[in-house]
């Protein structure tokens, strides 16, 4: 649903976006113009500096030869170093496709000037008058060539600048017309948006007003008000239609009240029956147990007592946490039943650390894991089946491991279990919704994983280690400071 406030914001944002786009475009063009102008001006400065440094270097060299004062030589070397710096900038800042050859010659001239000056100084210091006079003359000629080439480059730059100036004037005129067009377009678009918005508000309100007047006259048999604005007005129309239909339905509901009361009584009766059935089952098991005791069938008595305890625990209040000691006790009852059933085919070991039995955890956590190991792991083995329950206490956690030497699982199956636990899809339920065959609780591994994660509010509490045909180990790492949450 797009609220009216959101529509207003979108309309305003559209206008602001257009204005900002025009502003950014103008700023970009202005910045580009300023950048081009600055670049051109820098080129003029570099050429002017090269020309002046060349003249000043030659004058200082000539003065040094005349006065023989080392101060002039030191100043000459400073100007020479600065000239080399500007020489390095020629290729990067001055050279273009049009003046590439000229800049190359210009750079070579500067290099020749610097060499002639250096040779002049060396010949002067060596007392070779003819040679330093020759080199000084050559340096003077090269300096003149540099001045002429500088003027030629400046003239070329001025020509390019004139073209740039003309283009800038044309661009400014185009920008002016574009701004005028953009302002007119924004005004036109704003007018259209205002008309559309006002129509989307006033028309559906008029429809609601007409329908309300019909209902005020007692006419409820009117068509539903159809509004598809996807905002609060559409929701108001939907609620209005529901209100009209609810008023119409009140009369019909009153006629069916007696039938509804009858259905409620039948529902209460079924609920009562569902409460009686477990008690009838427990009473029957107790009767069988007493009969077996009178007949001195002690093993049968123990087996029936274990079944009774198991069923009573499974039918208990599952939405409350229990102590780990309670879970271990019910697992012992379950293991007694399975030992009676399988005999020597199955070996069950319980390694319980008594210090770990005082933490809370969701009800029916251990028994489903043991059932899972029996049914899916070792039930198909004819002999040598082993099942181990280990509970040990660590400083911050209690570790629970259920291990078997059964058929194991593939890596794909383990990934599937983790994915279903993450997506809250219980592997213990078939697509039809039936309970797992063979499970006394109907609670699968994914169900246990999900409830334990919700109870402790942590992920990664349960780890599965398994290889196909090499058994399975399910490990629970339960924090001792529980963060209790939903357990059922």
What are the beta bridge partners of residue 463?
475
Paired with 348 in beta bridges are 387
Query: Which are the contacts of 58, defined by CB distance < 8 A and separation ≥ 6?
Result: 113, 117, 139, 140, 143
What is the reported pLDDT for 187? Answer: 83
**What residues are paired with 401 via a beta bridge?**
390, 475
- CA-CA distance, 192 to 171, in Å (whole number)? 31
Do residues 455 and 361 make contact, with C-beta atoms less than 8 angstroms apart?
yes
Element (H, E) at 386: strand 385-393
Cα 387 to Cα 406: distance, rounded to the nearest angstrom: 9
Q: What is the DSSP string of 402-456?
A: EEE-SS---HHHHHHHHHHHHTT--TTB-TT-PBPTT-SS---HHHHHHHHHHHH
pLDDT of residue 475: 93
Q: How many whole angstroms separate alpha carbon 263 and alpha carbon 261?
A: 5
Give the Cα separation of 310 and 326 in Å (integer): 11
Q: Can you give the residue ranges of every domain in the chain?
A: 4-189, 339-479
Per the structure block, which two tokens stand in for 378? 């070792």
Taking the C-alpha atoms of residue 73 and residue 117, their distance in angstroms, rounded to an integer, is 11
Degrees to nearest 5, angle at CA 41 with 38 and 44: 155
* CA dist., res. 442 & res. 315, Å (int): 12
**DSSP E strands: which ranges in 253-384?**
322-323, 346-352, 360-361
pLDDT number for residue 402: 93
Model pLDDT, residue 474: 93
Number of neighbours of residue 226 by Cβ within 10 angstroms: 11
The second-level CATH assignment, the architecture, of 4-189 is: Up-down Bundle (1.20)
The answer to whether domain 339-479 has CATH 3.40.50.1240 is no
Please give the Cα distance from 158 to 32 (Å, whole number): 19
pLDDT of residue 315: 62
Q: What is the pLDDT of residue 328?
A: 92
Q: pLDDT tens string for the chain (488 positions)?
A: 567 677 777 777 877 887 787 788 777 877 777 777 777 777 778 878 888 888 888 888 888 888 888 888 888 888 888 888 887 777 777 777 777 788 788 888 888 888 888 888 888 888 888 888 888 888 888 888 888 888 887 777 777 767 777 777 777 787 788 778 878 888 888 888 778 777 777 777 887 888 788 777 777 677 777 777 777 777 787 787 888 778 767 766 665 455 435 433 443 444 344 444 454 455 555 556 556 565 556 666 666 777 777 777 666 655 678 899 988 998 888 888 888 777 788 888 999 999 989 899 888 888 889 888 888 888 888 788 889 999 999 989 999 999 998 888 888 988 888 888 777 555 444 333 434 445 544 456 877 787 787 778 777 889 999 888 888 999 999 998 744 444 44
What pLDDT score does 169 carry? 78
Distance in angstroms (rounded) separating the CA atoms of residues 468 and 465: 10
Length of the chain: 488
**284/173 Cα distance (integer angstroms):** 102
Q: What is the pLDDT of residue 296?
A: 57
């Amino acid at each position: 649903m797009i609220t009216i406030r959101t529509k207003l914001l979108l309309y305003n944002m559209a206008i602001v976006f257009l204005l900002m786009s025009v502003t950014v475009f103008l700023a970009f063009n202005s910045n580009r113009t300023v950048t081009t102008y600055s670049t051109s001006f820098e080129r003029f400065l570099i050429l002017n500096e090269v020309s002046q440094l060349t003249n000043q270097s030659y004058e200082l060299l000539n003065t040094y030869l005349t006065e023989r004062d080392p101060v002039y030589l030191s100043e000459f070397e400073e100007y020479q170093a600065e000239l080399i710096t500007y020489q390095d900038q020629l290729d990067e800042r001055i050279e273009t496709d049009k003046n590439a050859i000229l800049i190359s010659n210009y750079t070579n001239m500067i290099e020749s000037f610097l060499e002639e000056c250096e040779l002049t100084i060396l010949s002067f210091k060596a007392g070779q008058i003819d040679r330093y006079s020759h080199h000084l003359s050559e340096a003077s000629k090269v300096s003149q060539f540099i001045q002429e080439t500088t003027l030629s480059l400046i003239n070329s730059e001025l020509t390019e600048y004139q073209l740039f100036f003309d283009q800038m004037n044309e661009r400014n005129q185009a920008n002016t017309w574009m701004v005028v067009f953009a302002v007119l377009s924004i005004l036109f678009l704003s007018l259209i948006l205002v008309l559309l918005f006002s129509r989307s508000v006033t028309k559906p309100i008029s429809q609601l007003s007409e329908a309300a007047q019909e209902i005020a006259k007692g006419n409820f048999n009117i068509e539903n008000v159809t509004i598809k604005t996807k905002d609060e007005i559409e929701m108001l129309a939907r609620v209005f239609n529901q209100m009209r239909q609810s008023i119409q339905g009140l009369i019909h509901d009153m006629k069916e009240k007696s039938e509804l009361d009858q259905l409620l009584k039948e529902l209460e009766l079924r609920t009562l029956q569902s409460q009686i059935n477990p008690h009838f089952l427990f009473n029957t098991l107790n009767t069988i147990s007493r009969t077996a005791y009178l007949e001195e069938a002690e093993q049968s008595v123990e087996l029936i007592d274990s079944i009774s305890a198991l069923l009573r625990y499974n039918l208990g209040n599952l939405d409350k946490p229990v102590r780990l000691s309670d879970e271990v006790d019910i697992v012992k009852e379950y293991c007694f039943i399975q030992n009676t059933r399988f005999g020597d085919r199955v070996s069950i070991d319980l390694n319980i650390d008594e210090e770990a039995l005082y933490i809370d955890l969701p009800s029916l956590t251990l028994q489903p894991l043991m059932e899972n190991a029996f049914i899916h792991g070792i039930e198909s083995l004819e002999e040598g089946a082993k099942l181990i329950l280990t509970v040990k206490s660590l400083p911050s956690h209690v570790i629970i491991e259920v291990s078997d030497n059964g058929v194991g699982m593939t890596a794909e199956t383990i990934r599937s279990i983790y994915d279903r636990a993450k997506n809250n899809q219980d592997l213990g339920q078939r697509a039809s919704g039936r309970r797992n065959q063979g499970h006394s609780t109907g609670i699968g591994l994914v169900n246990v994983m999900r409830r334990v994660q919700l109870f402790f509010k942590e992920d990664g509490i349960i780890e599965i280690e398994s290889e196909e045909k090499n058994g399975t180990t399910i490990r629970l790492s339960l924090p001792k400071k529980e963060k209790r949450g939903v357990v059922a």
